[in-house]
Amino acid sequence: MRFVLPLFLIGVLATSFTDAAEVARRPNILVILADDLGYADVGFKGCKDIPTPHLDRLAASGVRCTNGYVTHSFCSPTRAALLTGRYQQRFGHENNPAWLPDDPKAGLPVTETTLPQVLKTAGYVTGCVGKWHLGAHPSQHPNRRGFDEYFGMLGGGHIYIPGGKGGAEYNIPLDRNGQQEEMKDYLTDTLAKEASAYIARHKAEPWFLYLAFNTPHTPLQTKGEYLARVKHIEDETRRNYAAMVVALDEAVGGVQKTLHDEGLEDNTLVWFFSDNGGPTGVTKANNSPLRGAKGQLFEGGVHVPFVVSWPAKLPKGKDDPRPVHSLDVFATAVALSGAKVPESHKPEGVNLIPYLSGEKKGDPHERLF
């Protein structure tokens, strides 16, 4: 018997080390969402007048899904689908909710399961930085929908500069885990710093971060250093919009640097896309060669720049023309993390990694809606 106990302990320790190693191999998951970005307004989609070196580097580090789609042509429904992995029509979320902080029904139904709730079953720490737009009632708060940490703006948009002009919803204080916080700096820069801090804070554990920028959504408010890089653009509206795209690019670059400095770059699965097409008539965004814009169901409304990067597993600098969409984020994250999805929840995406890595041939989807 005296030999049994040590062997048993060895078995327990071996199992523990195996579990720890398994957790360590699971990728961190970072979803970077732009807001109203034009299809042709990044360098990797052929843009010539707006410099986006950091986004181009991200695109070169992974797979460019040239037929990447979202499930709706404007803000909140797209986000609802992304975080639930289900078409927004399944639960009646086909419109932007009004700014009604006292209405528990004006947002993502609490009956829906979210990706962070699911990932927590696999030991992931979960964070959200940026635009929420899925309800302002306390029951809809990100901390109540699966996110351990939240910093950002609860509504559909926000001013970018302290003292800037915007509607009531755009002028509310920022929110940090349910507590109000005044904005002190250019908003896009602030969100990037918060994202980097989150990554550094949780570098020793598997994490999920939903980084939802509100740029280049209106109001077109920028700062001098970004405006200076696009001073060659004659049209004032497009010039201001372009400066906000530059700010987005710099923000993504800052987050990329943090991943590199913390040694997390290789094993972090990064998704980048826009919530919908650019509103060409409002911001002078460019959706060429696609027809239509934000709010429309032509290609220009739902066909977006779409990148999936995971240096440890996926090829670099590859174009993949097979149609994919934002619901695939949920399915892929579940497959890679080993998370448990409630039987009542029916996600509708596909794990893209076997397809993007070349392990599986054919189309990931028979049809998309």
84 Cβ contact partners less than 8 Å away, ≥ 6 residues apart: 91, 108, 112, 113, 114, 115, 330, 345, 347
Residues 240 and 227: beta-carbon distance below 8 Å: yes
Residue 7 falls within a domain, yes or no? no
Catalytic residue among 54, 72, 93, 133: 133
Residue 58 pLDDT > 80, yes or no? yes
Report CA torsion sign: 253, 255, 259, 261.
positive
Residue pLDDT, tens place only, 99-115: 999 999 999 999 999 99
Residue 12 falls within a domain, yes or no? no
Q: Rounded to whole angstroms, how far apart are CA atoms 214 and 33?
A: 8
The CATH number that applies at residue 78 is 3.40.720.10
Q: What is the pTM of this model?
A: 0.93
Catalytic residue among 47, 65, 75, 128: 75
Cis? peptide before 142, omega within 30° of 0: no
Quick one: how many helices (H) and strands (E) in the chain?
11, 12
Q: Rounded to whole angstroms, how far apart are CA atoms 219 and 239?
A: 13
Residue 102 falls within a domain, yes or no? yes
The verdict on whether 133 is a catalytic residue reads yes
* Domains identified in the chain, total number: 1
Residue 316 falls within a domain, yes or no? yes
Residue pLDDT, tens place only, 237-282: 999 999 999 999 999 999 999 999 999 999 999 999 999 999 999 9
Residues 306 and 59: beta-carbon distance below 8 Å: no
Residue 363 falls within a domain, yes or no? no
Provide the residue range defining the domain that includes 265. Answer: 26-357
Kind plus residue range of the DSSP H or E element containing 125: strand 125-131
Residue 322 pLDDT > 60, yes or no? yes
Residue 129 pLDDT > 50, yes or no? yes
Residue 17 falls within a domain, yes or no? no
Residue pLDDT, tens place only, 132-163: 999 999 999 999 999 999 999 999 999 999 99
Residue 16 pLDDT > 80, yes or no? no
Residues 275 and 79: beta-carbon distance below 8 Å: yes
